[in-house]
Amino acid sequence: MAHAKAGASLPVPNVQALAQTWHGSGEPVPGRYVRTEEMGAGEVVAGCAIRVVDLSRLLDPRSSEEELANLGSACQHWGFFQLINHGVLDEVIQDVKRDMIEFFKLPLEAKKVHAQVPGGLEGYGQSFVFSETQKLDWADMIYLMISPKESRDLRFWPTRTPSFRDSVDRYSAETAKVTASLLRFMAADLGVEPEHLLEAFRGQPQSMRTTYYPPCRQAADVLGLSPHTDATGLALLLHVNDVQGLQIRRDGKWHAVNPLDGAFVVSIGDILEILSNGRYRSIEHRVVVHPDKERISAAMFHQPCPNTTTGPLPELVNRDSGGARYRSMDYMDFMNNFFASKLDGRRSHMDAMRIY
Ligand code: OGA
Ligand code: NI
């Protein structure tokens, strides 16, 4: 059995190409994608309206206090919310959506120019595959380091969609602003100095995972993205083509998320759970695919800077009678743990952090 280098994934078939030839074939879906048992386990609740947080109300002194309570409760009890009136210009969003859609329309050979290289995480391909027998997700993705600019490896950046780099630049700057603003309000809700929370994200590093989920006529038997929590501070998810598929786990059930038009779906990541000493929750989620529509989404991850130690904020630990509920760890070690095992829901890399 082949083994990948720590963190890097084994190469897997291209699912977009596979789906195209398989769809008309009359054959059952290849065995490595069959997840019928997993899909059948646990009830799915349709039409879940996750909490709505309104950034313009947070910024308006007349409504700020009320909206802050709403934000805090969404972070504590849901770990997910949708953000409206976030102030990102529609033009910026439309441009980045267009370029992502165009990228996945390119012929396979043109996309493969940006394929992952052995041992690496970035580029076009898949993550979290470590054995030849592991079940596979019904999706392809392109993962890029976005910010700071020195962290970019332009080999992996699409070039056949010439405006991609510019669109992503503007989108990255806007999402970073929104995130900084959210972190300030979260600090207010947690009762810590905003600078202490922002300091954990100094320089605002970002990476982005854009995922293409092909349609699947056996949609009930496959998973687009295995259950996981986000090993990051905060993720802003953009529905690139308005097809739903995200589900979050709450009280043992899967809830299908139907965000409002134009909203970002915000996910509290593991790092915020740790920084907040467990007040905020990073929640398990997964993606199911559509029987006849492709789905494209883009998650912008906001993470601590490399080479910083991440642990519960001292202000909160001092206030909590039980002390620190999580260990402190070098962020790069934490990420290496995360990328070194398959996605298994709740979640071996966090168990290493928890103090019982
Ligand atoms: C992710 C993720 C959800 C989606 O990339 O971590 O959860 O809807 N994506 O694609
Ligand atoms: Ni996720």
Q: Does the pLDDT value for residue 1 go beyond 80?
A: no
Q: Does the pLDDT value for residue 320 go beyond 70?
A: yes
Q: Residue 92: which CATH number? A: 2.60.120.330
Our count of domains for the chain comes to 1
pLDDT at 39 (0 to 100): 83
Asked whether residue 15 is domain-assigned, the answer is no
Is 274 touching ligand 1 by the criterion CB < 6 Å?
no
Chain segment 250-272, per-residue pLDDT in tens? 988 999 999 999 999 999 999 99
> Worst-scoring range by mean pLDDT, 3-12, 38-47, 142-151?
3-12
pLDDT at 3 (0 to 100): 35
CA distances from 336 to 171, 217, 306, 333, 340 (A): 27, 36, 12, 5, 6
Q: Report CA(297)–ligand 1 centroid distance (Å).
A: 7
Q: Whole-angstrom Cα distance, residue 189 to residue 187?
A: 5
Is 211 touching ligand 1 by the criterion CB < 6 Å?
yes
State which residues have CB under 5 angstroms from ligand 2, the bound ion.
230
Ligand that lies nearest to the alpha carbon of residue 265, given by its number in the listed order:
1
DSSP state of 154: G
**Core vs surface per residue 66-87: b (16+ CB within 10 A) or e:** ebbebbbebbbebbbbbbbbbe
Q: What percent of the chain has pLDDT over 70?
A: 96
Is 288 touching ligand 1 by the criterion CB < 6 Å?
no
Q: Which atom of ligand 1 lies closest to the CA of 245?
A: 8
Q: Report CA(267)–ligand 2 centroid distance (Å).
A: 8
The Cβ of residue 273 has, within 10 Å, a number of other Cβ atoms equal to 26
Asked whether residue 178 is domain-assigned, the answer is yes
Is 142 touching ligand 1 by the criterion CB < 6 Å?
no
Q: What percent of the chain has pLDDT over 90?
A: 75
Mutate to test the pocket of ligand 1, among 232, 268, 285, 289 (most ligand atoms within 8 A of CB): 285
Asked whether residue 356 is domain-assigned, the answer is no
Beta strand spans in the chain (E): 44-48, 52-54, 80-84, 123-125, 140-147, 206-213, 225-228, 234-239, 246-250, 253-257, 264-268, 285-287, 295-302, 309-310, 329-330
Radius of gyration from C-alpha coordinates of the chain: 20
pLDDT at 7 (0 to 100): 66
Asked whether residue 25 is domain-assigned, the answer is no
Is 237 touching ligand 1 by the criterion CB < 6 Å?
yes
pLDDT at 9 (0 to 100): 79
Mutate to test the pocket of ligand 1, among 127, 137, 140, 209 (most ligand atoms within 8 A of CB): 209
Asked whether residue 18 is domain-assigned, the answer is no
Chain segment 208-243, per-residue pLDDT in tens? 999 999 999 999 999 999 999 998 999 999 999 989
Report yes or no: 177 and 184 within 8 Å, Cβ to Cβ.
Answer: no
Structure tokens at 87: 């102030």
Is 299 touching ligand 1 by the criterion CB < 6 Å?
yes
**Which whole number is the average pLDDT over 149-173?**
96
Q: Whole-angstrom Cα distance, residue 315 to residue 79?
A: 21
Asked whether residue 90 is domain-assigned, the answer is yes
pLDDT at 5 (0 to 100): 42
pLDDT at 355 (0 to 100): 85
Q: Whole-angstrom Cα distance, residue 187 to residue 83?
A: 17
User: Is residue 146 very low, low, confident or very high in pLDDT (cuts 50, 70, 90)?
Assistant: very high
Q: Report CA(241)–ligand 1 centroid distance (Å).
A: 14
Q: Which of 227, 278, 296, 280 is nearest to 255 (CA)?
A: 227
User: Is residue 84 very low, low, confident or very high in pLDDT (cuts 50, 70, 90)?
Assistant: very high
pLDDT at 4 (0 to 100): 37
CA distances from 255 to 184, 236, 296, 336 (A): 29, 19, 19, 30
User: Is residue 6 very low, low, confident or very high in pLDDT (cuts 50, 70, 90)?
Assistant: low
**Which whole number is the average pLDDT over 64-73?**
98
Asked whether residue 318 is domain-assigned, the answer is no
User: Is residue 118 very low, low, confident or very high in pLDDT (cuts 50, 70, 90)?
Assistant: confident
pLDDT at 221 (0 to 100): 96
Asked whether residue 85 is domain-assigned, the answer is yes
3-state secondary structure of 86: coil
Domain that holds residue 45: 30-311
